[in-house]
Chains A and B, each alone.
Chain A
Amino acid sequence: MPYIDWKRLPRKLREHMRDRLRTREITEDDMLKLMNWISTNPKVPEGAWCKDFGTFKLVGYGALPATLLTDVRHPTTPFGRSQPIRLLILPVKVRLRELAVCPRSHIRRLLEVTWEVKARM
């Protein structure tokens, strides 16, 4: 399992985080959670992963942190039930380009696929 390479944190992701923190959409407490999590030098799965910090979620692919979600609080499953994203358990393989910074439609599609696959398991 790889360690996250924070040196490769995309500039757009950092700018997104900066803007959300400035407008208080991301809270001080959640930034603290992020700092303390990074300090533990966490290992992540080879594939897609997602870590929930409350007011935002960090999504990555292996060692690469890819995007930041601040408005997808509870993705809807194919059954219409609202469920929180789990930590580091996205069980499907996705292409790296699907996790490139932003296009939220890709991220939503990824999460829906994930839950659908999980429901079949």
Chain B
Amino acid sequence: MLTFSQFIEGIARKDLTIPRADVERMRERFGDKVLKMGHLQEDGAMLVPVDCVLEAARSLGPQTLTEAAEILKSGQMASMLQAGEALVERVGEARERKLRELVREFQAESDETEAHSQWKQIEKLVFGVDYLD
């Protein structure tokens, strides 16, 4: 069971790391749509933005979310497959939505300092790298 502090620690991070083995298992099950969730690292792990996971989780009902969690753990039942797939799709969609919103804010921003900070977020989301400049 996740403690409150572990939960807060988890959502305070910018990215969640999905280990390589889990990424491979999810790709076998759901295909390449898994790749839309985040950035693959050199070691095969994937970094997924926490806010996109939260948005996706909120968009699914509690029942579906519980089923999705079961699927992502080890569930094999075909009837449950849809829930896991829905979560994967929603995370990818949330990530795309986040980029669109950031780009629109960036293009409409009149303050250059604020625009620079928005651009850094866009860079991180698109390239998966925090460029130090």
Instruction: Please give the residue numbers on chain A whose beta carbons come within 8 Å of chain B beta carbons, in ascending order.
Output: 6-7, 9, 11, 14, 18, 21-22, 24, 28, 31-32, 34-36, 38-41
Main SS class of interface, A: helix
Nearest-Cβ distance from residue A37 to partner chain B, whole angstroms: 10
Looking at chain B's contact residues, the main secondary structure is helix
Neighbouring A residues of B103 by C-beta, 8 Å: 21, 28, 31
Q: Which residues of B approach A to under 8 Å, CB–CB?
A: 32, 35-40, 95-96, 99-100, 103-104, 106-107, 115, 119, 122-123, 125-129, 131, 133
A33 to chain B, nearest CB (A): 10
B106 and A22 form a contact (CB under 8 A): yes
Q: How many cross-chain pairs have Cβ atoms below 8 Å apart between A and B?
A: 56
Contacts of B96 in A (CB 8 A): 32, 35-36
Q: Which residues of B contact A11 (CB under 8 A)?
A: 131, 133
B39 touches A39 (CB 8 A): yes
Bound Cα distance from A34 to B127, whole angstroms = 9
Chain B positions within 8 Å of A21 at CB level: 103, 106-107, 119, 122
CB of A25 to closest CB in B, whole Å: 11
CB distance from B62 to the nearest CB of A (A): 29
Instruction: With A21-B122, A39-B38 given, name 14 new contacts (CB 8 A).
Output: A11-B133, A14-B131, A21-B106, A22-B106, A22-B119, A24-B107, A28-B99, A31-B103, A32-B96, A35-B99, A35-B125, A36-B36, A39-B36, A40-B32
